[in-house]
Structure 1
Amino acid sequence: MALTSRDRTRENEGSVGQMLSEVTSDTQLLFRQEVELAKAEVREEFGRAGKAAGMYGGAGFAAYMIAFFLSLAALFGLANVMDAGWAGLIVAGAWAVIGAVLFLMGRSRMRSFSPTPRQTTETLKEDARWARHPTA
């Protein structure tokens, strides 16, 4: 039995419709996967930042206690050699320098923190390039 032009048109429409459906389905799947990847990357990066912040907190408290007792020891030690007021100023000045150095170091480390999901950004750029030129 020979196919008429009408039958051929229906056959082509069916395959085009099917292909369009598959492309749409694949695009939706790809988009969902990209969103999940972005979520996972952000979750991982913020998890690391949270753990680092907790460690900073614990180290800060321990450093505070050590600094307090060492400062008292330095103050009393210097008070044996000079007036207690001058000894207090010297200890406070030393802490001002230490605080400034720690602030600068902490600021430089926080600048290296990046919440941007780099891998997702790259794959989205690749997807956009493919969408513009799917045969390339």
Structure 2
Amino acid sequence: MTSLLADLANETTSLVRKEVELAKAELSEKATEAGKGVASLAIGGAVAFCGLLVLLAALVLVLDTFLPSWAAALVVGVVVLGIGFVMIQSGRKKLSATSLQPTRTIETVKDDARWAKTQISQ
């Protein structure tokens, strides 16, 4: 009986170590995925922003032929702010959808706990 308890303790310790290693690997993988997404968003946003500035200046110049200069700039500014707000909200939703929770590890820990309970009850 004593050797069985010692074996159970050793196996449990080994199992916990492996679960911790799995959790570290899974969290690292998820952090890498999120980091790549953020970098892609930042670089793409900067390039698009440069092009947008040029197009907005052209739009103000076009509207300036129909409206006073201040009104043309105001119209373009308000429209751009609205579009920017929508894009920010979309980006926030995408980032929050990336769960950093180690779901596989949590499930295996639950399975291990069930297994340990059955071993102890036998």
Scaled by the length of structure 2, what TM-score is found?
0.92
How far, CA to CA, are the matches of 2:89 and 2:113 in structure 1?
Answer: 40
Deviations 1:54-74 (A, max 9, x none): 111101111110111011000
Q: Distance in 1 between matches of 2:20 and 2:2?
A: 27
Residue in structure 1 matched with residue 101 of structure 2 by the alignment: 116
Give the aligned length.
121
Residue 6 (structure 1) aligns with = none
SS in 2 for 1:133: helix
Q: Which residue of 2 aligns with 1:8?
A: none
2:83 matched residue in structure 1:
98
* Paired position in structure 2 for 1:57: 42
Residue 131 of structure 1 corresponds to 116
Amino acid at match of 2:22: L
Q: Quick check: 1:17 aligned with 2:33?
A: no
User: Identity of counterpart residues, as a percentage?
Assistant: 33
The CA deviation at 1:19 is: 2.5
Offset of 1:21 from its aligned partner? 2.5
Distance (whole Å) between structure 1 residues aligned to residue 37 and residue 93 of structure 2:
14
Q: Which has the larger radius of gyration?
A: 1
Identify unmatched segments of 5+ residues in structure 2: none
2:51 is aligned, of 66, 76, 80, to: 66
Q: Tell me, which stretches of 5 or more residues in structure 1 are unaligned?
A: 1-15
What's the CA shift string for 1:2-35, capped at 9, x where partnerless?
xxxxxxxxxxxxxx33323322221111001100
The code of the aligned residue for 1:67 comes to L
1:92 partner amino acid: G
TM-score, normalised by the number of residues in structure 1:
0.83
Q: How does 1:82-93 map to 2 (within 5 A)?
A: 82-93=67-78
Aligned counterpart for 1:27 among listed residues 2, 9, 12: 12
CA distance in 2, matches of 1:24, 1:124: 16
